Every structure is written in C-alpha cells, then in structure tokens.
Amino acid sequence: MAGAIIRSRRLTNPMEHTMEAAQRAAAREAWLESTLAAMERRQIAKPMPLTAEASTRRFTRIITDAGPLVLMDAPPETENNAAFLALAPWLRKHGLHAPEVHAADPQQGFMLLEDLGDHLLGTALANTDAAGRRDLYRLAITTLIRFQCAGRDDPPSVPAYDRARLERELGLFRDWFAQGLLQHLPPDATWADTVAALTATALAQPRACVYLDYHSRNLLLLEHGGEQVLGLVDFQDVHAGPVCYDLVSLLRDCYLRWPEAEVRALRGDYLEAARAAGVPGLEDESAFVRGFDLCGAQRHLKALGIFARVALTRGQTHYFDAMPRVLAHLAEVLPRYPETEALGRWLASEIEPVLPAVLARHRAAS
C-alpha cells in the first residue's frame, strides 16, 4: 500500500535539464544587464536569491545604486505573465499594493519589479499573541474586501473558476498525493461523491473576484504613508469564483493553524465588514459557512496534491512539513457534512496513521 518511493517522475535526463538551466541563466543575466543599462542603473552588490515557491517562478533581489529591485524569472511555458502584467496596474489603480513593474519581457519571462521587502504576514502572525493576530488578520480582511469591491465595481478580464478547473485541481490530490505519494487511492464511490459535492458547492456560491492564493506567504507587511498595509504578490491567477474562497484560504492557511474559535471570530469580522462595504451574496450566513468549509476542503485536497507533486518531481520535500497541518484542517471539516464524511473517515483510518513513515522514507531517499 503506502510507502513506495517514486523516482520515475523526476526529470529523467539531469544533464539536459542542467544545460537548459544554464542557457536560461545566461539569457536572464543578459536581459538584466541590458535592462539596467537602459534604466541607467548599475548593480552594487551580489544578487540575493529569495525564497522559492511551489511554482516554476524564481525571484532574486538586485541591489542597484538607485535602490533594490526584484528580478522575477517566470518561464512563459508555465506561468501566466500576461495576466500578471495586466493585473498589477489594476490592483494599484484600486489602492492595493502590488509591485510596480519597472521592465518586462513577457516572451522570455523576465521582469524587474518594485521590491516590497520580505516581511511576510506569516512570520508576523507566528510571532505575536492572539490579540496581535486578530489585528493582523483584520488588516488582511480589510485588504481582501477592498480587492473584492474593486472586482465588483471595475471587474478585470479574468477567467471563471469553473467546473473543469475545480475538478482538475481535485485530481491533483488523487493523482499525486493518494496515488503518487502513498500508492493508495480512496474508494471510487467515496471519491466521486466528494468531487461532486465540493464542485457543486463551489459553483453554487455567489461570485466575486478570487485572488486564489490569498494566504500568509503571499502577503507582505509594508509601511505606506505612515500606516501598515499589505503588499500583494502571486496574483496572476485571479479568477471569478466563490466569494468565500479567499477568506478560507487566509484563515485556514496551509502553513498556519489557529483554534477554531479564532477562525469563527475572524469570519464574523469579515462578514460584518464585507456586508457594510456592499460585497454581494453574504445575506445567508449558514450558506456562507457551508461554502467556507467546503471550498476550504477543496483547496486543501488540491494543496496536498501540489505539495506531493513538487516533492516528487523537484525533490522539494520541505512541502511535506505542511501536510499534517492540511490533513488536520480536513479532519475538522469533512465529518461535518454527509457528502464528505466518508472521505474524512478514509483519511483518518487509512492515511493519517501511515503518513509520517511515508514522508520519512521519501525524505531519506531525496
């Protein structure tokens, strides 16, 4: 059952990959040099690689004589650079703190961005008390509501978070976490019922602009005009989708976990403020809570699949660290609803007991 070490899905020709990486690095350096020259800037310190993420994008801080910039390397084969370039000025127009794009070559996938620093919301949340957390989350909620109101009043041209995408994301759990990592699939009927329930619930929610990855590692604390604000990154996947999606992404974060009483209180703070701001579709609180729970479950199943995929294909086993936390979120929510209770039982009985040993074996083999 569980525990087979998957090596076949790694890159099969490391030499070829190394050559491609070297060619891309040379192109990136040439573009950076010519772009800085055109901007009449020069580097005055060694570039500083920034923390990598689960996508194929890479970021480097470039220290110049006119201040720092961030070089984003976003391969156009895998990253939506056109959306990033369209959404960055839209966000800024509406008073949201996305980075200014100083230069871009979307065909190659290179951009020079305003440096928003690296004071992550997640770091601040992990180093304060409950009162401090509530203040920080209220800042994130205020920012989210501003984003949703901008989407209501001046909707950007973004795709729908539709059935095909929802089902494709759920497939990541089945293909990469259950089969790829654990080699143990849920019963077909259980999985089919879960997919149907989660998809139907998401599609039934009132529509809003959905950031898609609105969580503590994509939000940066900044000072602007003497006030603390949030800087936004990783916004290229904005969709039109469930109004509850970004809130559950924020409050049931894959990288942080708080007592359910805190989550409920913050959800109440959001509902009060969002209703006052005129965010539509929030009249029925019980329907919102159901959507919040089940859209969160869909997101967490997707996240388990993504974490397994990047660990198995790129050797980034540090994503294993988040898996027990994500499973704990699912263990709390799935038993609440008849449509998802069976999958919750399967995870509790078949997966949670064996997962630590499986992860340990993969770490040892990576």
- The radius of gyration computed from the CA coordinates of the chain, to the nearest angstrom, equals 21
Average pLDDT estimate for 7-22? 56
- State the pLDDT at residue 300: 98
Contact call for residues 337 and 350 (beta carbons, < 8 A): no
Is residue 13's pLDDT more than 80? no
For residue 3, is it within any domain? no
Find all residues with CB under 8 Å of 360, minimum gap 6, and list them: none
Positive or negative, the CA dihedral 125, 351, 296, 319 is positive
Is residue 8's pLDDT more than 50? no
> Is this model's pTM higher than 0.85 or not?
yes
Alpha-carbon span 301 to 344, nearest angstrom: 11
Task: Give how far Cα 208 sits from Cα of 8, 205, 211, 266, Å.
Answer: 41, 9, 10, 19
Is residue 242's pLDDT more than 90? yes
For residue 4, is it within any domain? no
- State the pLDDT at residue 12: 43
**CA triplet 306, 309, 313: central angle to 5 degrees?**
145
Q: How confident is the model at residue 52 (pLDDT cuts 50, 70, 90)?
A: low
Report the candidate in 346, 2, 304 with the shortest Cα–Cα distance to residue 194: 346
**CA triplet 47, 106, 43: central angle to 5 degrees?**
20
pLDDT in tens, 282-313: 999 999 999 999 999 999 999 999 999 999 99
Q: How confident is the model at residue 189 (pLDDT cuts 50, 70, 90)?
A: very high
| Domain residue limits at 337 | 14-365
Which long-range contacts (C-beta less than 8 Å, at least 24 apart) are formed by 317-321? 317/359, 317/362, 317/363, 317/366, 319/54, 320/359, 320/362, 320/363
Task: Give the CA-trace dihedral at 294, 213, 280, 136, to 10 degrees.
Answer: 100
CATH assignment of the domain containing 117: 3.90.1200.10
The rounded mean pLDDT for the chain is 93
Contact call for residues 84 and 99 (beta carbons, < 8 A): no
Least confident of 89-93, 213-217, 222-226, 302-306: 222-226
Alpha-carbon span 347 to 304, nearest angstrom: 12
Quote the number of domains for the chain: 1
- State the pLDDT at residue 10: 43
- State the pLDDT at residue 217: 94
- State the pLDDT at residue 18: 72
pLDDT in tens, 137-163: 999 999 999 999 999 999 999 999 999
Share of the chain above pLDDT 70, in %: 95
- State the pLDDT at residue 359: 97
Average pLDDT estimate for 57-64? 95
pLDDT in tens, 106-125: 999 999 999 999 999 999 99
Alpha-carbon span 162 to 242, nearest angstrom: 10
For residue 8, is it within any domain? no
In sequence order, what E strands does 74-151 have? 101-105, 110-114
For residue 49, is it within any domain? yes
For residue 104, is it within any domain? yes
pLDDT in tens, 324-363: 999 999 999 999 999 999 999 999 999 999 999 999 999 9
For residue 9, is it within any domain? no
